[in-house]
Chain A
């Protein structure tokens, strides 16, 4: 099931709420929201889960079906999986492996494709902040790992995303050592630049952009880091070699090309704008025209 540079088409999302999400909203979401506490605590859902199980990276995986009963609307999606796992362990079965850590949408560790959509398809929401009130009683939910050649599966829903780290290592930094830096106010940064840089820097490195892309392209991730640093005066000195080195590493990792479908922006839990890709392409073009050779920035310290 691993797909790399060329991947067959997956359904595209509309940029706002996905169709799936809208259906949930219409069907049920309003019910518990308007209800009293009594209703909220007594309302339970029974769900069928189709979960990707795979022992490790070298064995074939398959879907297994589990029943998740008595699910409360106030549970987060990951808490629902916790409860399923408690049941599996009690029966002596292997719990479902999935990544999570902060569970408040900022660490970027959680990485589930839920019903075909990375993080489940609710705008600006990582899987850890998705709650079960978004689903309907009796629903079947499919849960898969990120699927991309550059993100090999380690177990069940857990993948290896170290390719992202290697892209940052290639040039996603400002080459300053600790100490000897000028006063923080020595170089004024126009507020609009700082704000735009922050928009890009908000990326949590989860990889949903890759997982949703039909080409498994990492352009939104790379563009976010390139833009974050290239927009600031502190990042200007290495602007050209940064973009060249990072793009070169991105290609070497086996990520596909961008065909500007915009699906990455639609699933990004931090709503990173597609326009950063245009900015990166511009920076890349300028660097090439200047005659810069793509090389690993880190090697020169």
Chain B
């Protein structure tokens, strides 16, 4: 199969405009004849559901949370990028495009990224009009700040809660359409299967999480905006409910999964405090501007109070290894350096998985009041979680998984390999390549939902769409039976281990063998262990309760069952990609200074995996990355 990305011809800067003109339209009066299912209500899902309903389509929107306002986009802190050049500092669409594609280590599509940069400016206008309370200057105009990987100030923000405010904007737009009857909302409802009829996505099967009811929903097109798969690592900064189920089950119905090995690790998270740990909390990277990272030189000192370790017994390892960048070394480089010292047994804190981020020098230099002014909200959060006062003792930090660049393969229209199935936001693979820059996730989610899907879905209806089936179609009945059989099977195992214990074991394995740094031997070990774990899961897990009731343990078991399958694909993709790029670091492929060694001759492609059936190895299809406008260069922040 040849993967056609449907990238329009013509000069890069004109592709999207040309494409918008070439896309077929649906007459306004005919739009109400089309039903669209949107799964997920985060930035991408809520913005898509609202925008499509405004156009006149009939929309059904589903989320597993109790309200669409709770989707995990809400937790994004930093901000959203846009090429407004309000600061007169030399920003432009082209510069945002270039920064994003360079940040992605030249593993994303030029045309997609350029479109993203173009649309970024409309997003800000849209959000302001919705009443998003962005930070303002005294003159009343929008404030900006700078962010990693960029030399201009183009990040718009609403305190440390930008994701929350943007999501509430989209949620409000969605609520307005719900009130108008244009969107039917299904909270506490989980998609468990995708319906494909004559090769087109035509509906979903869901489980009502309150009463266990399994239902079918038919539509003319299905949109998945179901987020990333970071929770395959068990511990991540994702919300507890984040899962891969929707895109994974679509994969098993024929939607290819692209670049699953591109996972991003964030260096400054609060470390694990014990086996009970359920999730990790991110702290802004800005802390590294004034904190110094160190661990004791000797293992024996690791359990001593940090203040009792004299200066000459401390190893400021980032300053030692990277004298020019020091504590501000790139995310992946600092993360791996922290892992190395912990692997040597020099980690600090419970479990030895942490390094100090020390503000003593900054406090001496600037005074406590100044440090407080810059970081008090972060110090407060740190104290809430750890009980430690970081003005008095050094913070402890450790890297954690927080974003996944891989996802369902989509073409320029955001349509998957299944006609009629569109994938938006973090759930698709399209715009961030091998690594995402800060403040770009919110931008992409909203670009997809507000300004791409409303155009491209119409073209599908006007050209390729097949009629909407009835839910009495045998495909629906069969899928419902499959879902029932799946849940009944989970409930019938009644084994000795809890679902959490399997998830935790899987996560630990993934973190060790396929986390910050990967190598062939480790990946092969993981690929051997995962099927064993899966087999044990299906023999020995214990799911309590019944299907016909509110059963969180059953919901969770289904998600973990999918993670144990998906993990294998992730490791396989990581094994096959014999280069280091962005968030994918293969120890075999690095320069002497520890920088990633990319191999453009052999790996400048998107790896899109096709499901071949249970127990069979998936097939990899390659979409070559053709750069017309820019040259692939070594990504360096030195």
Residues of A within 8 A of B (CB): 29, 32-33, 36-38, 40-41, 55-56, 72-76, 78-80, 82-83, 86, 88-90, 92-95, 97, 99-104, 106-109, 125, 129, 131, 133, 154-155, 158, 160-162, 164-165, 168-170, 172-179, 181-185, 187-191, 194-195, 197-198, 201-202, 204-205, 228-229, 232, 234-235, 296-299, 301
Most B CB atoms within 10 A — which of A174, A178, A191, A204? A178
Residues of chain B lying within 8 A (CB to CB) of residue A72: 273-274, 276
Given the known A-B contacts A101-B239, A107-B239, A162-B187, are A74 and B274 also in contact in the complex, defined by CB atoms under 8 Å?
Answer: yes
> In the bound complex, what is the Cα–Cα distance between A73 and B454 (angstroms)?
50
The minimal Cβ–Cβ distance linking B86 to chain A, given in whole angstroms, is 6
Residue from B158, B179, B385 in contact with A198 in the complex, judged by beta carbons closer than 8 Å: B158
Q: Which residues does chain B contribute within 8 Å of A73, judged by CB atoms?
A: 387
**Can you list 9 A-B pairs with a CB-CB distance of less than 8 A?**
A41-B274, A82-B276, A106-B164, A168-B175, A178-B51, A184-B124, A184-B127, A228-B131, A228-B133
With contact pairs A169-B175, A172-B175, A234-B128 given, residues A103 and B278 touching in the complex (Cβ less than 8 Å): yes
CB-contact partner of B387 in A32, A89, A178, under 8 A = A32
Given A37-B303, A107-B74, A125-B384: A298 in contact with B276 (beta carbons within 8 A): no
- Tell me how far the C-beta of B263 lies from the nearest C-beta in chain A, rounded to whole angstroms: 19
Contacts of B133 in A (CB 8 A): 194, 197-198, 201, 228, 232
With A99-B66, A201-B168 given, is the CB distance from A296 to B179 under 8 Å?
Answer: yes
Task: Evaluate whether A184 and B173 lie within 8 angstroms (CB atoms) in the complex, with A41-B350, A100-B240 already known.
Answer: no
> Does any Cβ of A come within 8 Å of B552's Cβ?
yes
Which of B350, B385, B451, B454 has a CB less than 8 Å from the CB of A40?
Answer: B350
Known: A37-B350, A95-B544, A298-B176. A181 touches B125 (CB 8 A): yes
Contacts of A161 in B (CB 8 A): 66-67
- What sequence of 0s and 1s flags, for each residue 513-524 of chain B, a beta carbon within 8 Å of any chain A beta carbon? 000000000000
- In angstroms, Cα B450 to Cα A99, docked, is 30
Question: Distance (Å) between the CB of A276 and the closest chain B CB?
Answer: 14
Q: Mark B148-176, 1 if CB is under 8 A from A, else 0.
A: 00000000101101001100100111011
Q: Is the CB of A181 within 8 A of B128?
A: yes
User: Is the pair A178, B544 in contact by a Cβ cutoff of 8 Å?
Assistant: no
CA distance in complex: A131, B270 (Å): 14
Chain B, interface residues (CB within 8 Å), range: 35 or more
The answer to whether residues A184 and B84 also contact, given A90-B498, A102-B72, A165-B175 and a CB cut-off of 8 A, is: yes
Task: Please count the residue pairs between chain A and chain B whose beta carbons lie under 8 angstroms apart in the complex.
Answer: 247
Distance in angstroms between the alpha carbons of A184 and B125 in the assembled complex: 4
Q: Check if B72 sits within 8 Å of A188, measured CB to CB.
A: no
Given contacts A41-B274, A301-B180, contact A158 B550 (CB under 8 A): yes
Are A173 and B161 in contact (CB-based, < 8 A)? no
Please determine whether B553 and A79 come into contact, CB atoms closer than 8 angstroms: no
Contact pick for B240, options A41, A89, A101, CB 8 Å = A101
The contact of A201 among B75, B84, B165, B349, by CB within 8 Å, is B165
**Contact at A75–B498, with CB atoms within 8 Å?**
no
How far is B37's CA from A169's CA once the two chains are assembled, in angstroms? 20
Which of B54-103 touch A at CB < 8 Å? 54, 65-70, 72, 74-75, 84, 86
> How many angstroms between the C-alpha atoms of A77 and B106 in the bound complex?
43
Contacting residue for A191 out of B86, B137, B165, B384, CB 8 A: B137
From the candidates A170, A190, A191, name the one contacting B179 in the complex (CB within 8 A): A170
Chain B residues contacting A301 (CB-CB under 8 Å) are 176, 180
